[in-house]
A and B are shown apart, each in its own frame.
Chain A
Amino acid sequence: MMLRPEGYVDGIHDLGGMQGFGPVIREQNEPVFHAEWEGAVFAMMRAARARKIFNSDEMRHAIERMDPAEYLASSYYERWLAALTRLLAEKGVVTEAETGARPANRARRRAPAAGESQAVVLDRYSTAQSSFRSSNAAPAFAVGQTVVTSNERKPGHTRLPRYARGKRGVIAAQRGTHVFPDASAHGLGDAPQPLYSVRFEAAELWGTGDVDTAAPVYLDLWESYLATVAGPGGDRG
């Protein structure tokens, strides 16, 4: 795997279980976009995705590589803008220097042509990409089986959150075979694997003390994150 020095697994995006963020504030009558530029960022992201300049896993990984302080200080669409700019530069489509040098004039737009808009077709295409892949391989784990998650620390993108590394859980459901984000985010293809819903008890994740033991967490995890448990608690002995 190509090592990306900035691509740490334990990034600021991996927020589950952290403390100190204060209350969750719900905005009343929230608009879809809070400013015109947010809509522009959204549309550019859709167009770039539809044209396969990058995939959704690369996009998530680009957000994860933001400077931690900047990540927390940024709004959702500021994070999208940072990821979009970075990926367009990394893919050789638009350099950072070009974006900076461009006079900040209002982008030229035209009225849509008659008939179905190319924009709408693009948008539909960008959202029609399923992660399901067909597979003949039987899943390695059965529902009800106890598993332990990987505790390997490695650079790059992953969907195994820090709070669930090296933890025991029980397979709650099989979810079919899916594109493996850890590969897909790094240009290594789909590398599909079986996906499972795994139930973790709160005490296993958060330990003792001020823990609500009647609040288990269910995570969707790929097969290579999981291993069988030997001995007590394991059901394969």
Chain B
Amino acid sequence: MGKFHPNVDKYVVSRVRALESILLDRGILPADAVDRIVQMYESDTGPQYGARAVAKAWTNPTFKRRLLTNSTAALSELGLEYDQLIVVENTDAVHNLVVCTLCSCYPWPVLGFPPNWYKSPAYRARAVSEPRALLKELGLEVPSEREIRVWDSSSEMRYMVLPQKPDGVDGFTEERLLPLITRDSLIGVATPLPAGGA
């Protein structure tokens, strides 16, 4: 579980190749599809839209309100058309954590490819029933009095966390804030990097 390394079983590899040549022959798979799509996603820049939205929210209260209440409009300002995102805000009273227990729903357009651990049985099983213990294992201590809201994504709506702004970044521009905003902080399993720590 949480396997990092792919199956290199010759049987799996040969099944994939066989299926690929059949789909090519039938015209279902365009001739350049595998190379182009792989290339496109391998150059995937990760959580660039998510991080940009958070940096802007930290510096612009009007944008922040829009991001939390109408993410479609807010993302559209950043050049992204995406109507399925709900943004949930971390505060001193509430920490948010995102999971998909039934499969691996994830806001791809804002966060890029989901990491393997997000898709692992261990994360999917434990995030809903013991989030505080799980986060502690992952290095994030959430005070016992702070509510942890777990968002179990159910296929249609996808979730992103708006983390709390780190200390010592007042006056930072969006560009200076961006490198502090990690993918994991947007899922809720980490806090942003400290100022000067990026």
Q: What residues of chain A have their CB less than 8 Å away from a CB belonging to chain B?
A: 13-19, 21-27, 30-44, 46-48, 51, 53, 56-57, 60, 63, 72, 74-78, 81, 84-85, 88, 93-94, 98-100, 102-113, 117-120, 122-123, 127, 130-132, 159, 161, 163, 175, 178-179, 181, 195, 197, 202, 205-206, 211-212, 214-221
Contact = CB atoms under 8 A, between A and B. Distances in A.
> Which 4 A-B residue pairs are closest in the complex by CB-CB distance?
A104-B14, A16-B101, A102-B18, A39-B38
Given A117-B30, A214-B148, A25 B117 contact: yes
B33 A99 contact: no
Nearest to B158: A220
11 contacts: A14-B102, A17-B129, A32-B44, A33-B38, A42-B41, A43-B34, A44-B33, A76-B119, A103-B18, A161-B102, A217-B149
B4 to A, nearest CB: 5
Contacts of A23: 122, 137
Interface string B130-154: 1111100110000011111111111
Interface residues of B, number: 83
Contacts of B122: 21-25
Contact of B26 (A60, A93, A118, A179): A93
B30 A130 contact: no
A93 B78 CA distance: 40
B21 A108 contact: yes
Contacts of A26: 115, 117, 138, 184
A40 B16 contact: yes
Nearest to B132: A212
Contacts of B156: 131, 175, 178-179, 195, 220
Interface string B3-47: 111111010111111111111101011111111111011101000
B131 A221 contact: no
Contacts of B117: 24-27
A26 B10 CA distance: 27
Interface of B: 1-8, 10, 12-24, 26, 28-38, 40-42, 44, 83-84, 86, 101-104, 108-109, 113, 115-117, 119-126, 128-134, 137-138, 144-157, 184
Contacts of A102: 18-19, 21-22
Contacts of B17: 37, 40, 104-107
B164 to A, nearest CB: 18
B19 A15 contact: no
Contacts of A106: 17
A159 B155 contact: yes
Given A44-B20, A53-B28, 9 more contacts: A15-B121, A21-B1, A21-B126, A78-B7, A99-B22, A113-B32, A119-B37, A159-B155, A220-B153
A51 B26 CA distance: 12
A117 to B, nearest CB: 5
B154 A85 contact: no
A205 B37 contact: no
